[in-house]
Amino acid sequence: MTNAENARPALRQPPTAYRSRVGDIEIVAANDGMVRVPMKDGFVRGVTAAEVGEALAESGLPREILTITFTPIVVRTGGETVLVDTGYGASGPPTAGFLLENLAAGGVRPEDVTKVVISHFHGDHINGLLTKDGALVYPNAEILVPAPEWDFWTSQDRKAQAPDAMKAAFDNVARVLGPMKDRLTHYKWDQEVAPGMIALDANGHTPGHTAFAISSDGESFVFISDTTNHPALFVRNPDWSPSFDIDPDAARRTKRRILDMVVTDDLPVGGFHFPFPALGKIARDGERYRYLPAQWMAVV
Ligand SMILES: [Zn+2]
């Protein structure tokens, strides 16, 4: 943030959510907030900050600060109210932690949530499971986590081998998920985690990172989670890998595979770090791709 921005009072958005449909399933997109990241060499592996700035400018964004937003979705399917990822909740930057009020605007109360399905264990996806005092935010929900993700982040060997910069992420997983470990359900890829909702292998960003195919009544939608971070950078340049992809080569292969699938099958997508309401389509552009944000609809 620049000094001029800090000197101005912040303008908070009014609480809001965005509702859409996949066949008979309702999707409610609700934002938890954002973080501003000053661009430095190394944010994208092997790419200079100037090159990243150029890509941001091509999308009309500031060259030197990347805004990363957090948008979980609620999937209303077969009598279940399924929250996919939680945002930072009370344990994140001051520009995040707005999910509950935005969910309320979308007609979803925490006690209504019957399942929380976690895509992977980064803090922006799990921290919102807990209040500041460590109580469960979604008291009635079954909490489902990817089995390979659990195996990775709870391995003391993996933690010992990890670079120092990653150790805090291991500690955060232990803090958030450790106390609730006996009530977690471990799911596998290709398994149905809720009616019409299949977990897809999207490994690379993290070892257990998962996307979700949601289908009903002949329509399908793919929530790609963190398969790509901001589309202006990583949809546009599918071989770019942010420094926080744990296995960049696997992440690139996954990204190519999933983007190719949604383009070939002409499927709408949602992305956790896409600009709100984080829904749209992907178009092929030679060896690259473009993100086409969805039309905002007053009535669906
Ligand atoms: Zn993320």
pLDDT value of position 232: 98
When divided into structural domains, the chain yields a total of 1
Classify residue 140: in a domain, yes or no. Answer: yes
10 Å CB burial of residue 235 (0-12, 13-18, 19+) is buried
CB 137 within 8 A of CB 128: yes
Q: Distance, CA 22 to ligand 1 centroid (Å)? A: 24
Answer yes or no: is pLDDT of 1 > 60.
Answer: no
Computed over every residue of the chain, the mean pLDDT equals 96
Q: Distance, CA 288 to ligand 1 centroid (Å)? A: 22
Classify residue 4: in a domain, yes or no. Answer: no
Report the pLDDT averaged over residues 225-245: 97
- The model's confidence at residue 292, banded by pLDDT at 50, 70 and 90, is very high
DSSP string for residues in 173-228: HHHHHGGGGGGEEEE-TT-EEETTEEEEE-TTSSTT-EEEEEEETTEEEEE-TTSS
Classify residue 298: in a domain, yes or no. Answer: no
Classify residue 172: in a domain, yes or no. Answer: yes
Report the pLDDT averaged over residues 24-40: 97
Q: Distance, CA 217 to ligand 1 centroid (Å)? A: 30
Of all residues in the chain, the percent with pLDDT exceeding 70 is 98
pLDDT value of position 288: 97
| Residue 256: CATH number of its domain | 3.60.15.10
Q: Distance, CA 121 to ligand 1 centroid (Å)? A: 9
- What is the Cα Rg of the chain in Å? 18
pLDDT value of position 7: 75
pLDDT value of position 2: 56
Q: State how far the Cα of 183 lies from the Cα of 242, in Å rounded to an integer.
A: 33
Adjacency order of strands within the sheet including 219-223:
192-194, 197-201, 210-216, 219-223, 269-270, 279-285, 288-293
96-128 pLDDT tens trace: 999 999 999 999 999 999 999 999 999 999 999
- The model's confidence at residue 35, banded by pLDDT at 50, 70 and 90, is very high
Q: Distance, CA 57 to ligand 1 centroid (Å)? A: 22
180-210 pLDDT tens trace: 999 999 999 999 999 999 999 999 999 999 9
Q: Which residue has the tokens 């469960």?
A: 136
pLDDT value of position 6: 65
Classify residue 229: in a domain, yes or no. Answer: yes
Answer yes or no: is pLDDT of 3 > 80.
Answer: no
pLDDT value of position 10: 86
Classify residue 3: in a domain, yes or no. Answer: no
Q: Distance, CA 241 to ligand 1 centroid (Å)? A: 13
- The model's confidence at residue 79, banded by pLDDT at 50, 70 and 90, is very high
132-181 pLDDT tens trace: 999 999 999 999 999 999 999 999 999 999 999 899 999 999 999 999 99
Provide CB contacts within 8 A for 28, sequence distance 6+.
Answer: 17, 18, 19, 73, 74, 76, 103, 106, 107, 108
247-284 pLDDT tens trace: 999 999 999 999 999 999 999 999 999 999 999 999 99
- Which range marks the domain in which residue 64 is found? 14-293
Of all residues in the chain, the percent with pLDDT exceeding 90 is 96
Classify residue 27: in a domain, yes or no. Answer: yes
Classify residue 282: in a domain, yes or no. Answer: yes
Q: State how far the Cα of 246 lies from the Cα of 158, in Å rounded to an integer.
A: 12
Report the pLDDT averaged over residues 216-240: 98
Answer yes or no: is pLDDT of 5 > 70.
Answer: no
- 153's enclosing H/E stretch is helix 147-153
Q: Which residue has the tokens 């471990």?
A: 186
Beta partners for 19?
28
CB 124 within 8 A of CB 70: yes
Answer yes or no: is pLDDT of 129 > 80.
Answer: yes
C-alpha 150 chain-centroid distance: 17
Q: Distance, CA 123 to ligand 1 centroid (Å)? A: 8
Q: Distance, CA 116 to ligand 1 centroid (Å)? A: 16
Cis, bond preceding 139 (omega within 30 deg of 0): no
